[in-house]
Amino acid sequence: MTATRVCFVCLGNICRSPTAEAVMAHRLQFADAGVEVEVESAGTGSWHVGHPPDERAREEASRRGVAMGGTARQFEADDFARFDLVMAMDSDNAAALRALAPDDDARAKVHLLREFDPEADDNLDVPDPYFGGQEGFADVFEMVDRSVLALIGHIATMPR
């Protein structure tokens, strides 16, 4: 079976996208969906390249029993060839990714993560918690967790 390769992308790759990467890796350990998924994260910006995830994001994940590690990296045009799904955390990052995409096939890989959130309303953005308090990180974790669970179900139905 060929693994589905997923990359979660936010602005700096220190809050939202590493949270999504960690939550998805955690959920896949317990998923009975018969899928093989490889997961990474990246940012559209370069400000935090080489830095670990934000301490508040790590604390929220740890509080919920989810391990979070890694270092920030920037998403590059060549990454489109490596991933089947490129999950943007918000519409601004989705637009940046589509602008970076080398062709229509690459652009078609870009989705908003909250397209899969069963509780999402008209706003499909995962808000950036960086300039707020711990409550924002908790809210992001909840949105990401709901979305990732549904995304795993979606991946299980994708043609191989």
Express each pLDDT in 70-81 by its tens digit: 999 999 999 999
| Residue the block writes with tokens 């220190």 | 14
137: left (phi over 0), alpha (psi -120 to 50) or beta: alpha
* pTM: predicted TM-score of the whole model, two decimal places: 0.96
Tell me which H or E stretch contains 100. Answer: helix 91-100
Residue 128 is a catalytic residue: yes
Question: Which of 16, 27, 58, 146 is an active site residue?
Answer: 16
Express each pLDDT in 124-143 by its tens digit: 999 999 999 999 999 999 99
Question: Which of 7, 10, 15, 146 is an active site residue?
Answer: 10
What the chain holds in terms of domains, given with CATH numbers, is: 4-157 (3.40.50.2300)
Strands 85-88 and 4-10, bridge-based pairing: parallel
Residue 10 is a catalytic residue: yes
At residue 121 the predicted structure's pLDDT band, cuts being 50, 70 and 90, is very high
Question: Which of 79, 90, 117, 128 is an active site residue?
Answer: 128
Residue 16 is a catalytic residue: yes
User: Tokens at residue 119, please?
Assistant: 């509780």
